[in-house]
Chains A and B, each alone.
Chain A
Amino acid sequence: MTSSFSRRSFLGLTGAAGLTAALAACGGGTKIGSGSSAPASAAPTFSGGEYTGPKVTLDYWNGFTGGDGPHMRAMVEAFNKEFSGRIEVRNVTRRWEDLYPAMPTAISAGKGPDVAVIHNDWVGTFAARQTLIPLDDVVGALELSDADFIPAVWNAGVLDGRRYSVPLDVHSLADYWNKKHLEKIGLSDAPTDKESYEKALVGLKDAGIATPFWMPNKWPAHLMFMSLLWQHGGELYSEDGAKALWGSEQGVQALSWMVEQIDKGFSPAKVAIDTQYAAFKNDKVSFTWDGIWQINDLKANAKSLEWGLSPVPNIGGTPAVWSASHNFVLTSQAGKDPNKVQAAKVFIDSMGRQSTEWAKAGMIPARNSARQDPAVADLPQVRMAQDVSIFHFLPALPGVGDVQSKALELAVAKAVLKESSPAEALKEGVATADKLLADNKRKYGR
């Protein structure tokens, strides 16, 4: 008995010791994030051409879950074939809204991407979080220059004088329309200005389409609001990122126009998330504004629907539309291994050269010269980019995503759901936004 007791107590103690060891290991794991700013200085400068190091595997994250996914996979496969035995790229595709929260934590745990595609408005945040490492030399090797790019896209990649991203494409909000509905009122293309757009809506209603233009309160409501704000001549944020300017008179006009569509009976009240798009696919809606990345979804999943794609109409006076771009970035995880840095740069370089292939995924090539390529110039989305000065982008302020979701998107939702008037909703939203901007300035130390 005595011996059995002591043996058991011994087992218990070893168990406890084991747990303590395991805990200590965990504790170490969570700490990596605090000092993960390994600079890429160890890696030799990239000057294009070949990869000569030992074989490496790169984890590549992106959010191309829609009709664009198969094109990206094909491009990655082609790359893997070309560099077989030297560089292997593992493609990880997950939804953007899951990718962004996961990326910084995964990278600090060493289980994230080495190279990734992110949107222009996230570059600033991630660069400030030291999740990314600079890419100036790749841009040099690709012979990219600001002259060949839309300035907003090009400048979004620069933080404190260093470049963190290589633009892949541009995409914008667009006006999708139902061909059969418009034929009923004798139109063969979407109206392009405020007067004719509103006239068309009245005509469609008279022609028996009860609610031709559904107004969402969530995605893409804030993109519609921003487009309208810019059209009216308003601005989102002050140059230094200290003040939110979207509560201006122009903002009120933009948001009021959105709410008006409900008041005039063109939209049902309180439309739920994604419903306007589902209703468009089901022939119930004549117009819906959505991103050009939906082109492939409509082609694949709404085969019986006859639809057209036009630029967002000019409601406010100056043509303008919300746009964003996909950008290649190199992460601090890759930065720990000079060979990975080199391989990732070869990968980004190679992908950047395939922008015409990528345009077939429904995107607009970011480079002005690539858009003139006859292979893509006639794609419907590329035609929309004839005048790139209408493309407006979110500024790449660190932490701007939080300001958008906590303040701007909420204000738009409140007004569209008639919780408060557009002016009140915006006033309240701007007050919140200004506090958040001040917090961000302090937090990201700029």
Chain B
Amino acid sequence: MSVLTRPKGLSGAAGPAAPAGRAKRMRTWTPYAFLAPYLALFAVFMVLPIGFGFWTSLHEWDINLPAKPFVGLENYTDLFDPSSVDGGRFWTAMRATGVFTLFSVPLLIVLPLLAALLMNGRFRGRNLYRAVYFAPYVLGVAVVGFLWRFLLDGNIGLVNHYLGLEVQWTTDVPPAWVALIGVTVWWTLGLNAVIFLAGLQDIPRELYEAAMVDGASAWRRFRAVTLPGLRPVTVFVINATILASANMFGQSYLITAGAPADQTKTAIYLIAETGLRQFDMGTASAMSFILAAFLMAASALVFGAFRDRSRR
């Protein structure tokens, strides 16, 4: 309501407050009062858990053991020591997460964009087509995982049977990566496509008409109108996809179970296993903080890359 019409007196907060009327409403704590509801939620559900997680990571914190000795940064130094048990396992898992993210993100950007461009056209059965692309996304990860584990099995699976192949999709690398990335693309392509489609429909038709009047070819219109128009959507999609890919857990848990020999065991998989199966919350929290640092850096890079371009 009146937030937009800020009284001028506010900037002179040090001066004597107006004795009465509207100006009196604005005190130094006014902005904090407006912030409070969100701040409370943010503090309760973000700041405190993160702080508690960090505190945990400084201890040898086993859920059920009464003694939780303070070990300082030992959990972290252990993870950075490749000869320690958890260090070796952790960096294998980080590598797995890296490989998966590196190869799945480009596919999960380009393919949904192409699908969205097709879906944006006018043709018969368009709604059916849109539904078909989105359909796998409504399945839960358990359904997707079990379905593909059996379809992809190297010795008794239908995929090898019908294609006449002898590829071990679930127990050998690199085929396991092809399988995991393929399944993930099939499963989540619809979501990114729908976001791109919404972005496409937001681009004003007049821009295309103007470009056509100027004699721009279809490719040129795509480069000069569609892509720039999609920029804000693309930043969002890339970031969300990187985070989603880096958090991959269900697919490798269900389809490969980390095979061969933990090479497809991702960081989140290992964190869940360490914290919730072996109850080693201290190490698991330390792992989470290192993973979070990597993800923040990746997000910063993406935002940085797109910001530079928009300043051109």
List residues of chain A with CB under 8 Å of any chain B CB: 1-2, 5, 9, 12-13, 15-16, 19-20, 22-23, 33-37, 100-101, 104-105, 108, 129-131, 214, 217-218, 268-273, 275, 278-279, 282, 284, 402, 406, 410, 413-414, 417, 419, 432, 435-436, 439, 443-445
Contact A410 B261 (CB under 8 A): yes
Tell me the bound Cα distance from A12 to B63 in angstroms.
Answer: 35
Q: Which residues of A contact B37 (CB under 8 A)?
A: 12, 15-16
Contact B33 A12 (CB under 8 A): yes
B contacts with A: majority SS: loop
Tell me the bound Cα distance from A36 to B66 in angstroms.
Answer: 8
Contact A23 B63 (CB under 8 A): no
Known contacts A19-B40, A23-B44, A270 near B172 by CB under 8 Å? yes
Tell me the bound Cα distance from A1 to B41 in angstroms.
Answer: 26
Answer yes or no: B97 CB below 8 A from chain A CBs: no
Q: Which residues of A contact B89 (CB under 8 A)?
A: 406
Known contacts A23-B48, A279-B155, A417-B171, A273 near B257 by CB under 8 Å? yes
Tell me the bound Cα distance from A414 to B155 in angstroms.
Answer: 19
Tell me the bound Cα distance from A410 to B60 in angstroms.
Answer: 25
Answer yes or no: B277 CB below 8 A from chain A CBs: yes
Q: Which 10 pairs from chain A and chain B are nearest by CB?
A: A270-B171, A16-B40, A270-B168, A129-B64, A417-B260, A104-B64, A414-B261, A272-B170, A101-B277, A413-B261
Tell me the bound Cα distance from A443 to B36 in angstroms.
Answer: 43
Q: Which residues of A contact B168 (CB under 8 A)?
A: 269-270, 272
Closest-CB distance, A216 to chain B (whole angstroms): 10
Q: Which residue of A lies closest to B89 (CB)?
A: A406
Contact B259 A272 (CB under 8 A): yes
Tell me the bound Cα distance from A2 to B36 in angstroms.
Answer: 18
Q: Which residues of B contact A22 (CB under 8 A)?
A: 44
Closest-CB distance, A437 to chain B (whole angstroms): 11
- Name the interface residues of B50-79: CB closer than 8 Å to any CB of A: 60, 62-68
Tell me the bound Cα distance from A410 to B262 in angstroms.
Answer: 8
Tell me the bound Cα distance from A105 to B275 in angstroms.
Answer: 11
Closest-CB distance, B87 to chain A (whole angstroms): 11
Q: Which residues of B contact A279 (CB under 8 A)?
A: 155-156
Neighbour of B36 across the interface among A12, A271, A272, CB < 8 A? A12
19 A-B pairs besides A272-B171, A439-B85 with CB distance below 8 A are: A1-B25, A33-B63, A34-B66, A104-B63, A129-B62, A130-B65, A269-B168, A270-B154, A275-B156, A278-B156, A279-B155, A406-B89, A410-B261, A414-B261, A417-B261, A419-B261, A443-B65, A444-B65, A445-B67
Q: Which residues of B contact A217 (CB under 8 A)?
A: 171, 259-261
Q: Which residue of B lies closest to A269 (CB)?
A: B168
Answer yes or no: B84 CB below 8 A from chain A CBs: yes
Contact A406 B85 (CB under 8 A): yes
Q: Which residues of B contact A445 (CB under 8 A)?
A: 67
Known contacts A12-B36, A16-B36, A406-B89, A218 near B64 by CB under 8 Å? no
Contact B276 A130 (CB under 8 A): no
Tell me the bound Cα distance from A278 to B155 in angstroms.
Answer: 10
Residue-wise, chain B 28-44 has the 8 Å CB interface mask toward A (1 for contact) of: 00000100110011001
Q: Which residue of A lies closest to B169 (CB)?
A: A272
Q: Which residues of B contact A23 (CB under 8 A)?
A: 44, 48
Tell me the bound Cα distance from A432 to B88 in angstroms.
Answer: 10
Closest-CB distance, A227 to chain B (whole angstroms): 21
Q: Which residues of B contact A218 (CB under 8 A)?
A: 257, 259
Neighbour of B278 across the interface among A20, A268, A402, CB < 8 A? A402
Closest-CB distance, B262 to chain A (whole angstroms): 6
Q: Which residues of A contact B24 (CB under 8 A)?
A: 2
Answer yes or no: B279 CB below 8 A from chain A CBs: yes
Known contacts A23-B48, A279-B155, A435-B84, A35 near B66 by CB under 8 Å? yes
Q: What would be 6 A-B contacts, judged by CB atoms less than 8 Å apart?
A: A5-B25, A33-B64, A108-B64, A269-B168, A271-B154, A275-B154
Q: Which residue of B lies closest to A100 (CB)?
A: B277
Contact A268 B155 (CB under 8 A): yes
Q: Which residues of B contact A13 (CB under 8 A)?
A: 36
Contact A105 B44 (CB under 8 A): no
Contact B259 A413 (CB under 8 A): yes
Closest-CB distance, B162 to chain A (whole angstroms): 17
Tell me the bound Cα distance from A214 to B168 in angstroms.
Answer: 14
Q: Which residues of B contact A1 (CB under 8 A)?
A: 2, 22, 25
Closest-CB distance, B283 to chain A (whole angstroms): 11
Tell me the bound Cα distance from A354 to B48 in angstroms.
Answer: 51
Closest-CB distance, A9 to chain B (whole angstroms): 5
Closest-CB distance, B57 to chain A (whole angstroms): 16
Contact B85 A435 (CB under 8 A): yes
Contact B171 A271 (CB under 8 A): yes
Q: Which residues of A contact B48 (CB under 8 A)?
A: 23
Q: Which residues of A contact B33 (CB under 8 A)?
A: 9, 12
Neighbour of A105 across the interface among B63, B66, B171, CB < 8 A? B63
Tell me the bound Cα distance from A321 to B71 in angstroms.
Answer: 42
Contact B66 A15 (CB under 8 A): no
Q: Which residues of B contact A214 (CB under 8 A)?
A: 155
Closest-CB distance, B123 to chain A (whole angstroms): 41
Q: Which residue of A lies closest to B36 (CB)?
A: A12
Closest-CB distance, A213 to chain B (whole angstroms): 13
Neighbour of A108 across the interface among B2, B60, B63, B154, CB < 8 A? B63
Q: Which residues of A contact B172 (CB under 8 A)?
A: 270, 417
Q: Which residues of A contact B40 (CB under 8 A)?
A: 15-16, 19-20
